[in-house]
Structure 1
């Protein structure tokens, strides 16, 4: 099962790489993905069999890429890309943005229709784990900093795959502690993101500001999703404190 998941992820990444404007040789793609050229050749053929129109330039220095004319009318989003787009739209909708949302319902219907029933259920489940609160107070926003990109990526991975993370966390008073957390829910008090997590160190539910997470290490320790009511006291506090 692990090998299958690895290949699926590689195919999704390969499809995204092939959508770039420049040509990539099979050798370059093999190095980029850490596999042999023969494996990349098989993956490219599999994508072709799935209907992805991949052009090949066999001349000197040639390469492969998705047909340039395969445009917006035939979006070929990977599962992760579709998840990110649908969650972003859900966030914009919940925040009540007054601009550029006129056609949002139609876009969502088309995007959902492009997913299999199983993937639609997974996306729906993920959206229910992202909570939108009030805009953070001026005092809270005063200490806001951008979250490190690597931290963002590993946090997202742990959230999507329901695997715990080992983190170094800086508290409000500057103390740094090491924790292992289970990222069950994400809360946005714009522009501050919080993780609602089970904290193994405290053996209790805790909330962590994403911009105070200094570093993360992924684990393979999967967790069972806790009901939102488990974090109700924390949510009530955030609602009052913002």
Structure 2
């Protein structure tokens, strides 16, 4: 095929793809007339686009409709690293809630998401579901002083929690005093809508519980930790609403 013909065809393929993605009602006749080619040429072009992975549906006959399958973009959804981490945490929460509202099977979605991580990271984050706990709704006392944590704090916390890295935080106590802590975020606990971090506090040298909305700043560190058993937090979990780390 001459170079000019090849260039023309590439431009035509790009135009066909763009027209299909516009979701306009198209027919084989109308599209071939618009492009100035025969319906046979258009059919060959459509097959090339199909071979490239574009799920094109066409009705039989010269005047038949042509369109993209309704799910054409699903397989091409891309997430950033932080978005994938946030989604993993959200899926783990949904699975732990065991609510009849979540009727879809979430495990295959989680497996597909895990497959996008490196082998080392997959090993690190494979137990994320077991490290999230969902309790009763927060008490009125807790809600009276609650405000949602900022997105930068949530992002750093999620990444440190999932990948088992130490987290440096600025934490505001119930009295309003702010201290800097280095913590090991072992578990997350939801008393809706309030999140808690069950952690080992290196400043105190002991297990502590931190309310996420009182974390004013957070930064993940390079050092890592080994997750300890949830039984180490039994005393903390019994009377969570009155614990003030």
- Whether TM-score is above 0.5 comes out as yes
Q: Once structures 1 and 2 are overlaid, which stretch shifts more, 193-202 or 79-88?
A: 79-88
Q: Decide whether the 8 Å contact of 1:134 with 1:239 is kept in 2.
A: no
Question: Where in structure 2 are there 5+ consecutive unaligned residues?
Answer: 1-20, 22-51, 55-69
Separation (CA, whole Å) in 2 of partners of 1:187 and 1:239: 12
1:161 deviates by: 2.1
Corresponding pairs, count? 175
Would the alpha carbon gap of residues 78 and 148 (structure 1) be closer, same or farther in structure 2, given more than 3 Å must change? Answer: closer
Q: Decide whether the 8 Å contact of 2:85 with 2:158 is kept in 1.
A: no
1:170-191 C-alpha deviation (Å, 9 max, x unpaired): 1111111121111111111111
Aligned to 1:159: 161
Separation (CA, whole Å) in 1 of partners of 2:109 and 2:157: 29
Q: Decide whether the 8 Å contact of 1:162 with 1:224 is kept in 2.
A: yes
Aligned to 2:107: 108
Would the alpha carbon gap of residues 75 and 204 (structure 1) be closer, same or farther in structure 2, given more than 3 Å must change? Answer: same
Q: Mark the structure with the bigger radius of gyration.
A: 2
Aligned to 2:150: 148
Q: Once structures 1 and 2 are overlaid, which stretch shifts more, 155-164 or 197-206?
A: 155-164
Question: Where in structure 1 are there 5+ consecutive unaligned residues?
Answer: 1-20, 22-51, 55-67
Residues 117-196 of structure 1: pairs in structure 2 closer than 5 A: 122-196=124-198
Q: Once structures 1 and 2 are overlaid, which stretch shifts more, 115-124 or 194-203?
A: 115-124
Q: Decide whether the 8 Å contact of 2:85 with 2:162 is kept in 1.
A: no
Would the alpha carbon gap of residues 167 and 188 (structure 1) be closer, same or farther in structure 2, given more than 3 Å must change? Answer: same
Separation (CA, whole Å) in 1 of partners of 2:220 and 2:76: 35
Residues 1-242 of structure 1: pairs in structure 2 closer than 5 A: 70-73=72-75, 81-99=83-101, 101-102=102-103, 104-105=104-105, 107-109=106-108, 111-112=110-111, 115-116=114-115, 122-238=124-240
RMSD across aligned positions (CA): 3.3
SS where residue 128 of structure 1 aligns?
A: helix
Q: Decide whether the 8 Å contact of 1:194 with 1:208 is kept in 2.
A: yes
1:124 deviates by: 3.7
1:123 deviates by: 4.3
Separation (CA, whole Å) in 2 of partners of 1:211 and 1:170: 9
Q: Decide whether the 8 Å contact of 2:125 with 2:162 is kept in 1.
A: no
